[in-house]
Amino acid sequence: MLKAKKKIYKNGLRVVTIPMKDNPTVTVLVLVGTGSDYEPKEINGISHFLEHMCFKGTTKRPSVQVIAHELDSLGCQYNAFTGSEYTGYYAKGDSKNFKQMFDIVTDVYLNSTFPEAEMEKEKGVIVEEINMYEDMPASHVQDLFTEVLYGDQPAGRSTLGTKENIYKMVRDNFVSYKKIHYVAENTVVIVSGNTTSEEVYKEITKYFKDVPVNKSGKKPKTKDSQDKPNILIKYKETDQTHFVLGVRTFDLFDKRNTTLSMLAGVLGAGMSSRLFTKLREEMGVAYYVRA
């Protein structure tokens, strides 16, 4: 059975190690506790934009080409992702390259320079990413459901932000936002694979000794109230209608969520579920349905 070991440093940095001695690979993941739920309306989308910009050059590796070439030369899988409450940077590769992989991932996380020329180009990339998801109704309808659920507050806004916000952002926005959120107490480093906790701690001491230690930015409290049914309709010319119906239930840690998951399974998980049977097999009006 795999055992995770957690260590918390005096500056608040959290480190989780999962040694797997029979695994030929190792994964380095750095998480920061910020996402779209932490963003003011005028800079909604900055967490995701900043994630993109972290790969555009560091004090040690001056361009995206240098970063990508080094990771590709190691045969790594690597990427980054942004959610509503966290952002992550990771690389996975041969365990013999652990130290070099750790160096690259932490360099991207800690030492990005946000070149203005790259920022201006990346605005176009992100706007096209927004367009791409808006052209995928099955995905976009989930964002619309979140919008109608929470309304005009951080929890109800898209992780990608708006096109208007993206075009208005300047370098100072990234520097200020990173200074507030990319700090020790808001950072978790996770390493799993063929390495030891002691090896990881050595690299942590080497690379994170100067990580900022100021208090991290806090998430605005979400107003979670509703006194009447809410509905949102967005028209776009496609061949299908995508429909989501939802009701408020329990918080994340409520014990009744297990029962709720079973109910969702009965309704819409698998080909024998009630909704699948009715809508697809009996009526023939839909291709996919889930709960």
Q: pLDDT band at residue 101, thresholds of 50, 70 and 90?
A: very high
Whole-number pLDDT of residue 197: 97
The answer as to whether 24 is a domain residue is yes
Q: Please indicate, yes or no, whether residues 289 and 203 belong to a single structural domain of this protein.
A: no
d(CA 19, CA 195): 6
pLDDT at residue 216 greater than cutoff 90:
no
Residue 212 in any domain: the answer is no
Give me the domain span that covers residue 253.
247-291
> Which one of 51, 120, 128, 185 is the catalytic residue?
51
Mean pLDDT of 74-95: 98
DSSP per-residue letters across 6-44 = EEE-TTS-EEEEEE-TT-SEEEEEEEES-SGGG--GGGT
Stretch 112-123: mean pLDDT: 98
* Predicted confidence (pLDDT) at residue 95 exceeds the cutoff of 90: yes
Q: What is the dihedral of CA 80, 112, 126, 124, to 10 degrees?
A: -150
Given this model, what pLDDT does residue 140 score? 93
Arithmetic mean of pLDDT, 34-62: 98
- In this structure, is residue 233 part of a structural domain? no
Residue 216 lies in a domain: no
| Inter-residue contact 62 to 69 (CB < 8 Å) | no
pLDDT of residue 26: 99
Q: Which of 175, 207, 239 is the last residue of a domain?
A: 207
Q: Does 42 participate in catalysis according to the annotation?
A: no
- Are 164 and 59 within one domain? yes
| Cα gap 290→271, rounded to integer Å | 10
Q: Are 50 and 123 in contact (CB under 8 A)?
A: no
Q: Is residue 240 part of a domain?
A: no
194 and 100 together in one domain: yes
Give the percent of the chain with pLDDT over 70: 100
191 vs 205: CA distance, rounded Å: 14
* Cβ-based burial of 31 (10 A; exposed 0-12, middle 13-18, buried ≥19): buried
209 confidence band (pLDDT: 50, 70, 90): confident
The band of 1, judged by pLDDT with boundaries at 50, 70 and 90, is confident
Q: How confident is the model at residue 215 (pLDDT cuts 50, 70, 90)?
A: confident
Residue 225: which pLDDT band, with cuts at 50, 70 and 90?
A: confident
Q: How many domains does one find in the chain?
A: 2
Q: Structure tokens of 261?
A: 């998951």
Residues 112 and 200 reside in one and the same domain: yes
- Banded pLDDT at 218 (limits 50, 70, 90): confident
pLDDT tops 90 at residue 183? yes
The verdict on 91 and 22 lying in the same domain is yes
* pLDDT at residue 2 in the model: 83
Quote the pLDDT of residue 267.
96
CA 125 and chain centroid, separation: 18
In the predicted model, what is the mean pLDDT of residues 55-66? Answer: 98
Q: Give the chain's count of helices (H) and strands (E).
A: 10, 6
Nearest-Å Rg of the Cα atoms of the chain is 22
Decide if pLDDT at 208 tops 80.
Answer: yes
Sorting pLDDT into bands at 50, 70 and 90, what band is 141?
very high
What is the rounded distance in angstroms from the CA atom of residue 72 to the CA atom of residue 98?
14
Q: How many beta carbons lie within 10 A of that of residue 253, not counting itself?
A: 6
Residue 171 to residues 7, 64, 102, 149, 226: CA-CA distances in angstroms?
Answer: 34, 17, 27, 32, 38
Residue 129 placed within a domain? yes
Give yes or no: residues 260 and 200 share one domain: no
Strand runs labelled E in the chain: 5-8, 14-19, 25-32, 77-82, 87-94, 187-193
Mean pLDDT, residues 30-49 taken together: 98
- What per-residue confidence (pLDDT) applies to 65? 98
